Chain A
Amino acid sequence: MIQLLAMPGLRLLPADWDWGLDGQIVLAGVLCAVAASLLGNFLVLRRLSMLGDAISHAVLPGLAAAFFLSNSRDSLPMLVGAVIAGVVTALLTEWIRSLGRVEEGASMGVVFTSLFALGLVMIVQAADEVDLHPDCVLYGALENMTMTSVAGFSIPTPVITLGTVLLINLLFVILFFKELKVTSFDPSLATTTGFNASFMHYLLMVLVAVTAVASFETVGNILVVAMFVVPPAAAWLLTDRLWLMILLSAVLAAASAFGGHVAALEVPKWFGYGSTTTTGMMAVVAGLILFLAALFSPSHGILIRLIRRRMLAFSILADDIVALLYRIQERNHETSATFQNLQTILLSDRLSLKCVLYLLIRREQVVPDGQEFRLTDSGTSSAQQLVRSHRLWEQYLASHTAVQPGSLHDKAEKFEHFTTRELRKQLSDATNSPDVDPHGREIPGESVEQDSQTP
């Protein structure tokens, strides 16, 4: 696999790709992205995406305070400081919201911007004494990771930290899968059945804070916020299963990390620049993935919706053509059923009409007859059912509702396309099986063969 990717002919990877260096960067990025997106699923599902944002910003004063107090960059005081700051954010947000008149988003905005600003001020103060740079907090320093030696191997420190965090998050999601599901979906049921919803909430927030801190020095604030929200949001567009959504979000997160690094090396070269920051590109790639998911999602995608709308329009046009031909036959061909006339009466564009007529001829419902079009027997039968639906609706609306006589036709015209045999039977029963519609035209009988029309 690795050889395959690096084969010069394929050029999937940049020419100067170095598995030693680039591999490390990608590994750290993937670990961070997956760790964040695992938790992010539940932030997105609880409509708390902003809280992930808020906490990952608001841990900054916690970190800075930990510097001042312990005077070191040890992980433990930093972690404690961050967790406290994270929980404080969640509590403050809840408290400000409960004061009333402040909606959740606004109260988060107030809390995290103030805390973040406080943290920045503290860090700028501390910058002379401690080797932490504000830039590093924002963008991370994936390209210059410190190394630790483990069992004779030199491994980047962040890989160890992020690996641990990923493991913790993974265990959390697996062990508490059921609890997370019920507290996210139905907090009241959870609480009444003894699963404390606020306990789960704060546990989640603690892990969000831990993940944010672990990601800080490597990938920075921007990426971690993107990874909390974007891959889960994309995954939600692609599936209706919770476990699959979590799995997909992890895969998409890893793909963004990998793709982000490749793009960071390659894309600037197209414009004649050197490589750019990997973390920024990771977030960009994640955004791109979300865009693609929104476009091509099989159930909610923009594309599939367009196609469905088009199909529905075609099927309605097919119904309309068949019904029109039937009415023309009924009135002994007062109008000739030429293409031109059909187009004028149905107000259709040429292309759609041509397509649908072609389909109807292939389905053997319509045959061309010189310049005109004629219904076949099967066409006549389905037209009868449509016209029957239409006239039953008119009769029903006229006798059961106060619809204006003038708009009876329009309403019936809409409903006829969605009327099944079963519904026709109910309509007929409700109107005492009439023979004629309110305009005095004959209502055709129900067809005997199996009803082929579906809504």
Chain B
Amino acid sequence: MTNSAPSPLSVSDLTVAYHRKPVVWDIGFDIPQGSLVGIVGPNGAGKSTLLKAVMDLIPRASGRIEVFGLPWKQARHRVGYVPQRESVDWDFPVDALDVVTMGLYRELGWFRPVRRRHRDRAMEALDRVGIADLAGRQISQLSGGQQQRTFLARALVQDADLYLMDEPFAAVDASTERAIVEILRELQRTGRTAAVIHHDLQTVPEYFDYVVLLNMRIVAHGPVAEAFTTENLQKTYGGRLTLLDEVSEAMRRRERSM
């Protein structure tokens, strides 16, 4: 790179395999500082896997990941994560405020209890996403949109420089979608970077300025105007890489017959 400032997220040669079967394969991209990045691809393209591998939550077969030019462990305090809704245990006995306060635990460190000023900050974040009045609700009593806002508020209190969001727009109402976009824009204005897994192709050019097209491997990445083309989309959505599937299947079969 010619830039002096390191990219918020730089991935090279990343491969993640599950039982020898690659889920994402030879991924490499850098995202520019201060951009809103849409990560787009069909079901099973490995979008969530990519984010989880970046955060060291699942083992990778190969690859290097740098966050602001540093390895993950040294830079993770600068990253905020919004998980996929399906991965959350909604019956857990916590209310919205508790969930948001968890975003401050890193700052608190081991053993230190949560104090009033932390709760106040969490409350502010809930207010920012427009659900301060629901702070005391157990999380399963919130609507889908409100649940998503809660997790967004949690990411906000983390005050991170890079946000990784796994489908924040999935199953939310129109007003929540607008609220999320509003917050993404505000994050961008204050110099933050966000990488967002996104499903709705129609809104990509409107919401994002940079796009990563993914289907097991990177099909294209770049500014939306350049990379988000019909041709690239066709390549992304035009079926899986069948030959890659076939060779990995052959590898498995060979191993079994040994």
Contacts and interface: CB of A to CB of B under 8 A. Distances in A.
A245 B76 contact: no
Nearest to B106: A193
Contacts of B56: 191-192
B113 A188 contact: no
Contacts of B8: none
A181 B108 CA distance: 14
Interface string B75-119: 011010101000111001111001100100110101111100000
Contacts of A177: 113
Interface in B176-194: none
Nearest to B57: A188
Given A193-B76, A194-B106, A185 B55 contact: no
A195 interface: yes
Given A178-B114, A188-B81, A242 B94 contact: yes
Interface string B35-53: 0000000000000000010
Contact of B108 (A178, A186, A189, A190): A178
A245 B93 contact: yes
A298 B87 CA distance: 27
B95 A240 contact: yes
B138 interface: yes
A45 B93 CA distance: 9
A389 interface: no
Nearest to B58: A188
B92 A192 contact: no
Given A188-B57, A191-B57, A240 B93 contact: yes
B79 to A, nearest CB: 7
A178 B99 CA distance: 11
A192 B138 contact: no
A194 B76 contact: yes
B102 A186 contact: yes
A185 B101 CA distance: 13
B254 interface: no
B85 to A, nearest CB: 12
Given A177-B113, A193-B76, A195-B110, A100 B19 contact: yes
Nearest to A177: B113
A373 interface: no
A239 interface: yes
A192 B81 contact: yes
A178 B19 contact: no
Say what secondary structure dominates the interface of chain A: helix
A240 B99 CA distance: 13
B77 A194 contact: yes
B95 A185 contact: no
A96 interface: no
A36 to B, nearest CB: 19
Contacts of A245: 93
Contacts of A306: none
Given A100-B19, A179-B110, A192-B55, A241 B93 contact: yes
A236 interface: yes
A21 interface: no
B89 A185 contact: yes
A126 to B, nearest CB: 42
Nearest to A174: B113
Contacts of A189: 81, 83, 102, 154
Interface in A159-192: 175-179, 181-182, 184-186, 188-192
B123 to A, nearest CB: 17
Nearest to A191: B57
Interface string B51-74: 010011100000000000000000
Interface string A312-326: 000000000000000
B53 to A, nearest CB: 12
Greatest chain B CB density within 10 A among A178, A188, A189, A236 is at: A189
Nearest to A100: B19
B50 to A, nearest CB: 14
Given A100-B19, A189-B83, A192-B79, A184 B105 contact: no
Interface in A373-390: none
A236 B138 CA distance: 12
Contact of A242 (B88, B93, B105, B113): B93
A115 B84 CA distance: 38
Interface string B154-167: 10001000000000
A179 B88 CA distance: 17
Interface string A190-227: 11111100000000000000000000000000000000
B81 A236 contact: no
A288 B239 CA distance: 56
Greatest chain B CB density within 10 A among A175, A236, A240 is at: A240
A240 B138 contact: yes
Nearest to A240: B138
Contacts of A195: 105-106, 110
A195 B111 CA distance: 11
B83 A186 contact: yes
A396 B75 CA distance: 53
A45 B95 CA distance: 15
A177 B56 CA distance: 25
A45 B81 CA distance: 22
Nearest to B114: A178
A182 B81 CA distance: 14
Nearest to B79: A192
Interface string A16-42: 000000000000000000000000000
Nearest to B91: A236
B88 A186 contact: yes
Given A178-B114, A186-B83, A242-B92, 20 more contacts: A45-B89, A45-B92, A178-B105, A178-B112, A181-B98, A182-B102, A185-B89, A185-B102, A189-B83, A190-B105, A191-B55, A191-B56, A192-B57, A193-B76, A193-B105, A194-B77, A195-B105, A195-B106, A236-B93, A244-B93
9 contacts: A176-B111, A178-B105, A178-B108, A179-B110, A185-B92, A191-B56, A193-B106, A240-B95, A240-B138
Q: 8 closest pairs, A vs B, by CB?
A: A193-B106, A240-B138, A242-B93, A185-B92, A240-B93, A182-B102, A192-B55, A188-B57
